[in-house]
Each structure stands twice: as structure tokens, then as C-alpha cells.
Chains A and B, each alone.
Chain A
Amino acid sequence: NAGVMQNPRHLVRRRGQEARLRCSPMKGHSHVYWYRQLPEEGLKFMVYLQKENIIDESGMPKERFSAEFPKEGPSILRIQQVVRGDSAAYFCASSPPIAAGGNIQYFGAGTRLSVL
């Protein structure tokens, strides 16, 4: 049973380009979370998705960032017109359907985005 797969592991973009980060959850997991870790800072929640639904995007920047989790295929975190401040490690985590107290989230290895 493969773990959470994120690709690419490293992504370099110039200012103004688009960045697409992909996350394939563990088999049987229908819940995906995206987190961002800025240099020298802790992890911050961005968005929580189930298949074809955004459940909570309270941590997403209001502009340029979007996320989707289609019926088929991986979850995508999309950053349009990247700026240097977007340089960070982006982690995806997945979990099975939520139990009353929550479930362990399994993390991917992350995508390290560098904006030149």
C-alpha cells in the first residue's frame, strides 16, 4: 500500500509563472489536507478537501491559490503568478473518512517550491 505521493519533490518557478503541486492520497483515503511550511516557520493549514468538494479553505490565501480533488486523479494545489514569498515546502496529508475524534493523517514527502 503506497503512502501519500507528492510530486514534484522540488519545483523551481520564476516570478509570475504558475505552480501545480500534485498529491495522490493513500489507497482508501478520501480526505486530503494541504499544509504550507514557510522557511523558519511552523506548518500552517491551507485547505481540506474530499472528493469533488472543498470542505474548508480557511487557510488559503484569498488570491492566486486554488485547490481541487477531482473524482479521478490526484489533488492539485495551484498557485498562479507566483511571487518570492510563495517559496516554501507544501505538504499534503490524507486520512480515511473522519471518525468522531479525527484520524491520523499520513503525510507526503512534500514539494519544495522555489521562486526565483
Chain B
Amino acid sequence: KNEVEQSPQNLTAQEGEFITINCSYSVGISALHWLQQHPGGGIVSLFMLSSGKKKHGRLIATINIQEKHSSLHITASHPRDSAVYICAVRLVGGGADGLTFGKGTHLIIQP
């Protein structure tokens, strides 16, 4: 079982819809990251969370430490939001100092 699980794996929605992508993890973490990878392959860091909620424009990220769960929401979705969204965690107490990644959620927003 992967330490970081994302759902759904693939998501197709219409422009304007509210999007939710989920991330669950099974290990102790010090921080959780949401990343965006565009079709060209480049990776952009969207958020880093250790508690609570963060908002940037139409993007909202939340984390529940007790439930080991995070969500990424996109409001008023747009075709340019089409990308792979990746959840990654920084482990606590041993393991690699780098990030451990989920497999990503492929999001397509249709006009």
C-alpha cells in the first residue's frame, strides 16, 4: 500500500464546476504539499500545509492531521486548470528528507 493515496485518479468536469481532489496518508508527517504538473511537464508548488486551511485565488487546500487527510478544492474551474495535481508529504522521524508523492490526479476541465 502506498504511503500517499490520492482520489480520484482521473477527473473530467465542465467549466465552472467546483472540484475536490483528496489525499490520504498513512504515516506521520511534518508537512503536506500540493503540486501542479502541466502537460508540458513543469511542476509548480501550490501549497505547503501543516495544519488548517490555505487559500490562493480560486484554490483552497485543507488538512486534517487527526484523520491524515487533505483536500484541494478549485472553485469556478477553468480549462487552464487542466493538469495533474500531486499530493506529497514530508515524513517525520526517519525516512527520506525529500518528499513522498501520491500518484497524482489527472484533471480535465472541458469548456
Contacts and interface: CB of A to CB of B under 8 A. Distances in A.
Interface of A: 33, 35, 41-48, 55-56, 58-59, 89, 91, 93, 100-107, 109-110, 112
Contact of A109 (B35, B42, B45, B96): B42
A98 to B, nearest CB: 8
A105 B100 CA distance: 13
Contacts of B33: 104-105
A102 B30 contact: yes
Interface of B: 30-31, 33, 35, 41-45, 48, 50, 86, 88, 90, 95-104
12 contacts: A35-B98, A42-B102, A43-B101, A45-B98, A46-B98, A47-B98, A56-B97, A58-B95, A101-B50, A104-B45, A105-B99, A107-B42
Contacts, number: 65
B43 A45 contact: no
Contacts of B101: 35, 42-44
B86 A102 contact: no
